[in-house]
Amino acid sequence: MAATRDTTIPRGLILLAVSLCTMLYAVTQTIVNVVLPQLQGALSATPEQVSWVVTLNVIATAVVTPTTGWLVARWGHRSVILWSIVGFSASSLLCATADSLVPLLIYRIGQGACGAPLVPLAQAIIVAVYPPERRAFAQGIFGIAVVIGPAIAPALGGYLAEAYNWRFVFILILPMCAATFLAAWLWVHDNGGRSSFRLDWSGFLLFSVAITCAQLAMDRGERLDWLESKEIWAYLALIGVALWIFIVHSAMAEQPFINPHLFRDRNFSIGILLVFVYGMLNITPTVMIPTMLQNLMGYPDSMIGILLAARGAGMVIGFFAVALIAKVDPRVGMIIGISAIGLSGWNMALFNLDVAPLTVALNGVLQGFGSAIMWVPLSIVAFATLPVRMLPDASSIFHLLRNFGSSIFISVSVLTVSRTGKISYSELSENISAFGESLRLPQVMGMWSFDTVHGLAALGSEVNRQALMVGYTNSFALYALVSFATIPIMLLVKIKP
């Protein structure tokens, strides 16, 4: 990584270049979610089919991310970044031109695979370029790109989809690609050195099978009724076999796909566990809140965009506050951040169908503030005691687990909403009867009625709406529980090597 220590290039310009790379990929993580209903209609796809647009992109990212260290060793930082941007740009353009589902899925795989090295490589460069006393500042700027991109993307994507159509979500990315390519071309350089490091193809394939099957099982489990499905059993069997062979192979290989020496570092081992939790908590609200507001409360896309922007505002405030918190024990910053995230989850668990937009916005500010406060000390602690030569591999695993945590917890949250919503619907329906005295009062029933088809349908719809709201509050309670349960783990961080 010493190749990036070019004193003729100001560190600020290198930071700008790699932050743009990070922002470029981070935006695509969530911007597509808001156009899934449009894609379903435009491409004549079922909800299950169109969900592959997100799933396959996540899988491609998860599979390719750990290869970042090998790619850098073989071709260098500059070449990997530039070619990743080129491939990402081409895939994004092709996504905008797709006229059926299958080509779009192929292009989304390309988008995920080409964009996967950008974030871990960007962070590895920052850690190598900046001295320890300046890393908090650099990680703060980098963190803005990591977490604000996914926060503002749904709002921007919703506006473009409403004003134009789903294709503009991908077209929007192209000017960003051009600016990012120019910045990386000008300011990211190598010294030309390469290593003879060989990729462990056996480990790579085994790891890819395990990650792919895990994501497929989580994404399709609820639709297929989990263990009642032979497909899910097949995924679980493949995960078990692939992981077992992978572990045995890694213990025997001279140059395993994932370097086991990384996990001898206490801070890094704790850091990847914490970043997995961070990934679970950071992206999930941007998926759950919009669907709740739109489906249950009828909020328009423009209003949802404004409310999500409040979360981005909280992140900006948090990154300014990091400069002060960075002067003290990093564990303090992480605990403050995760506590703010947990408090926001607790507040969301108290939401009801009459929640005020201001309440949602203020909670988003708190959540964004906590995410920003937690990110910088977490990033510093995880890499503080690692040698520079291990940074590309370490950063790729770090961001792999962050992305994997996001996808897993989103699936768990959706499962919680669906399962507990069904249970609540059953319980609420038991109390809805034409013989109930309170339900005979006009002021209670309103447009609901047991006497007409429309009135009965409206009543059933309201019961379903109330039940789903219970499901959402349960998922937010789980969100808060995970946040607060993580605090003891942070106390295990070793401050001084």
| DSSP, residue by residue, 310-371 | HHHHHHHHHHHHHHHHTTS-HHHHHHHHHHHHHHHHHHHTT--TT--HHHHHHHHHHHHHHH
Maximum separation of any 2 CA atoms in the chain, in Å: 83
Q: What is the pLDDT of residue 196?
A: 60
Q: What angle do CA 17, 61, 18 make, to 5 degrees?
A: 5
Closest CA to 486 of 315, 287, 337: 337
Which has more confidence, 237 or 138?
237
Collapsing DSSP to helix, strand or coil, 415 comes out as: helix
CB neighbourhood size of 434 (10 A): 10
Q: Is the dihedral of CA 448, 454, 456, 462 positive or negative?
A: negative
Q: Is the pLDDT of residue 35 over 80?
A: no
Do residues 274 and 402 lie in contact, with contact meaning Cβ atoms separated by under 8 Å? Answer: no
Calculated CA dihedral for residues 35, 26, 205, 257, nearest 10 degrees? -170
Write down the pLDDT at residue 366.
95
Question: Quick one: which of 120, 142, 143, 157 has its CA closest to 286?
Answer: 157
State residue 194's pLDDT score: 58
- Residue 317 CA to residue 110 CA, distance in Å, equals 35
Q: Worst-scoring range by mean pLDDT, 16-20, 78-82, 134-138?
A: 134-138
Residue 128 has pLDDT above 50, yes or no: yes
pLDDT of residue 105: 92
Question: What does the block give as tokens for 277?
Answer: 């939790």
Total residue length of the chain: 497
Are 277 and 408 spatial neighbours (Cβ–Cβ below 8 Å)?
no
Distance CA 95, CA 298 (A): 29
Give residue 46's identity as a one-letter amino acid code: T
Task: Specify the pLDDT at position 402.
Answer: 85
Integer-rounded Cα Rg, in Å, for the chain is 24
Q: Does residue 44 come out as left (phi exceeding 0), alpha (psi in the -120 to 50 range) or beta?
A: left
Amino acid at 308: L
Q: What is the pLDDT of residue 8?
A: 42
CB 469 within 8 A of CB 354: no
Q: Which residues of 313-329 are buried (b: 16+ CB within 10 A; e: fewer)?
A: bbbebbbebbeebbeee
Q: Which residue has the higher pLDDT, 39 or 327?
A: 39
**Whole-prediction pTM:** 0.83
Provide the pLDDT for residue 439: 60
Predicted pLDDT of residue 283:
80
Query: pLDDT averaged over the chain?
Result: 84
Give the residue among 363, 343, 372 at the shortest CA–CA distance from 150: 372
Task: Say how far apart CA 419 and CA 425 lie, in whole Å.
Answer: 10
* 148-157, 319-328, 426-435: least confidently modelled range: 148-157
Task: Show Cβ contacts of residue 133 under 8 Å, excluding neighbours closer than 6 positions.
Answer: none
> What is the model's pLDDT at position 210?
93
Span 242-294, pLDDT tens digits? 999 999 998 888 888 888 888 989 999 999 999 999 989 988 887 788 778 87
Confidence (pLDDT) at 441 = 57
Question: pLDDT tens digits, residue range 447-471?
Answer: 655 556 566 677 778 888 999 999 9
Range with the lowest mean pLDDT among 45-49, 102-106, 382-386?
45-49
Give the span between the Cα atoms of 296 and 292, in whole angstroms: 6
